[in-house]
Amino acid sequence: MSRHYLVAIVENNAGVLARISSLCCQRAFNIDSLTVSTTGSPNVSRITIVTSGDDDAFEQLKSQTAKLPEVIDVFPADPDETVIRELLLLKFEVTDENRFQITSIAESNHARIINNQDSTLVIEMTADPTTIDLFIELMMPFRLIEMCRTGATAIAKGATTFHSES
């Protein structure tokens, strides 16, 4: 099974997200992540869906999503032709003994310390999903208190666009 990314450009109407997630549920597509964001137009939103499965199932999801009345357009987001990012926040319990080690690992992996208290440390990382996965694994030996991870969002590289936002 491989990870697939789908970008849907939709009318900014109440209930459109519920209809898309309901479609996924009805068709037994597992959603790994789902993000919704505004675009340059107040009438248009962008939904990025990440799912795991075979290519045929992904094509079916793309086709079914495109048939929804509020969907303006649907694009598969090829990771080789797309910038895909997630935001990760990690909060650790720290001691005098491990604070420097955690900070060093974070900084060497292009993560930032955004809150440094007496007994806790909050780290922020923005990266592609695979890098986020690897960083989480690297940080697991430390006392993790809380983790928050956004879903993926995607934008085409170069002059290519998923749509005109105006």
Which CATH number goes with the domain that contains 142?
A: 3.30.70.1150
Buried b (16+ CB within 10 A) or exposed e, 140-153: eebeeeeeebebbb
Number of domains in the chain: 2
Residues 6+ apart with CB under 8 A from 11: 43, 44, 45, 70, 71, 72
Residue 161 covered by a domain:
no
Rg from Cα positions in the chain: 19
- Pick the last residue of a domain from 76, 96, 130: 76
Q: Is residue 162 part of a domain?
A: no
Q: Which domain holds residue 102?
A: 82-153
User: Which pLDDT does position 44 carry in this prediction?
Assistant: 93
Structure tokens, 122: 């909050």
What per-residue confidence (pLDDT) applies to 166? 46
CA distance 6 to 19: 16
Q: Which amino acid makes up residue 2?
A: S
pLDDT digit of tens for each residue in the chain (166 aa)? 788 999 999 999 888 999 998 888 887 778 899 999 988 889 999 999 999 888 888 898 999 999 999 999 999 999 899 999 999 999 999 999 999 999 999 999 999 999 999 999 999 999 999 999 999 999 999 999 999 999 999 998 987 777 655 4
Q: Using alpha carbons, list the distances in angstroms from residue 145 to 47, 90, 119, 140.
A: 30, 8, 11, 11
- DSSP element (H, E) containing 39: none
Q: What is the pLDDT of residue 90?
A: 98
